[in-house]
Structure 1
């Protein structure tokens, strides 16, 4: 087993640890780990990421359901347009992207480069969200849940398409939408987002099962390590301040996004 492959499996464990510690963000590491350490094609890596993210989020969602933190009605309203969008994106849009997109001077921007650059931009957006921190307003569990259906549906479609292209969960987009458009308290929004991420990621992955050959042995072993990492992260969360950790991780994601942009465009 090569050194980078060993680091890749360590990365799988780290993805789970981050998810267990701060309830999100770890999925943003999945594609870079698969592409740069496991040497997996970016299109395949985004597919595998959907499965890893989906299974990991599902475990977190079950834990939150047991605690009574998940708003199932909101999850269903948001998930339906999201999973339709992510499924259609993986089955039809991603395969339809041409292998050669355009040229920037002497640089030929291919489909793989385009996906990684787009992913890096999403990482930069996510990092800013984590560094700034989420507003703690609206944490009152007695707050009446209200629904702005047109905006919830529109946001669900947008998040679904983004998830389908880059293979990340999109929690940094979902959580503000649930707080603003469904008036959910922050704790319930965070908990509900994990169920939404799980549903749309796994259904999006179904679009890939029909288009790609899946290495199930590798994918299940990688996912199993992430799941172990989740439980390790949950245990570690008893000893670590999650707000400080989230900001530190945000800076790490920012640097990673900049690195990917540099590597794909100038490396």
Structure 2
């Protein structure tokens, strides 16, 4: 790995980990354009490499949240396991898609996430709440006393949601935290800080499944990914600490703006080549 590539990879890895630790997701939305446009990888290489980076960042964030008691291990493991079939199908489907179509679809995903974040932010301003993860589009309100009512689980709904998250992870190589956190909140009824921590367990399971499915489909640049992932791990630790120092709306606004800029740039580059 040359010094020029390292200089580009390390700050990007740090930022990706920072988002994972602070917001419970979103890092992989930046990992793929960084790997493609800054580090010269093909879209298919980037979607596989992003899974490595996100998985390492998730492990670090998981350790931090576990020490604070913000993880529901059984719920996270069940949700992640239910999504493995979707992850497998998404990984296989992604391999059949042309690079230009894949990057155009990814730009569309980024714009969708950014729009959802920007719509949500005004509703959350002024709220005294725990750090909000990406994609929390309809946060349930706890009743007086701070306890959320017990939610009756619908197995089919849980399985369908988990499979959709897995499909997203497998196809795009993203951890899916921007979908996992609201799913854990709305479907399983977890409190927001616990949903953020538990989402990292789901991300880890989905990423590991997608990587196993892609094994043997092509080589990975391990020296590059090792440095990238090490910085993601450090960023995840710092992001976990950052959640207590900055308003969540500030982090979310900055991230949504960056994602919008990247998505427009990617679409402008990819669409003329379709």
TM norm structure 1: 0.85
Question: Which 5+ residue runs of structure 1 have no aligned equivalent?
Answer: 99-110
The Cα of 1:48 is off from its aligned counterpart by 0.6
Give the aligned partner of residue 103 of structure 1. none
The Cα of 1:238 is off from its aligned counterpart by 4.2
Give the aligned partner of residue 247 of structure 2. 241
The partner residue of 1:251 within 253, 257, 266 is 257
Q: Does 1:137 align with 2:140?
A: yes
Question: Which 5+ residue runs of structure 2 have no aligned equivalent?
Answer: 122-135
Measured against aligned partners, the alpha-carbon deviations of 1:224-261 in whole angstroms (never above 9, x if no partner) come to 11112222333444432222221221122122112111
Q: Does 1:73 align with 2:60?
A: no
Q: Does 1:94 align with 2:94?
A: yes
Counterpart of 2:153 in 1: which secondary structure?
A: coil
The partner residue of 1:210 within 204, 211, 216 is 216
- Mapped to 2, the partners of 1:234 and 1:62 lie a distance apart of 10
Change (3 A) 1:188 1:239: closer
The answer to whether the 8 Å contact 2:139/2:182 transfers is no
Give the aligned partner of residue 104 of structure 2. 117
Give the aligned partner of residue 55 of structure 1. 56
Q: How does 1:182-197 map to 2 (within 5 A)?
A: 182-197=188-203
Give the aligned partner of residue 222 of structure 1. 228
Change (3 A) 1:175 1:19: closer
Give the aligned partner of residue 36 of structure 1. 37
The Cα of 1:3 is off from its aligned counterpart by 4.8
- Mapped to 2, the partners of 1:188 and 1:235 lie a distance apart of 16
Counterpart of 1:266 in 2: which secondary structure?
A: helix
The answer to whether the 8 Å contact 2:19/2:26 transfers is yes
Of 1-10 and 115-124, the range deviating more from structure 2: 1-10
The Cα of 1:23 is off from its aligned counterpart by 3.0
- Mapped to 1, the partners of 2:83 and 2:103 lie a distance apart of 22
Measured against aligned partners, the alpha-carbon deviations of 1:54-85 in whole angstroms (never above 9, x if no partner) come to 12112212222222222223212211121232
The answer to whether the 8 Å contact 2:25/2:176 transfers is no
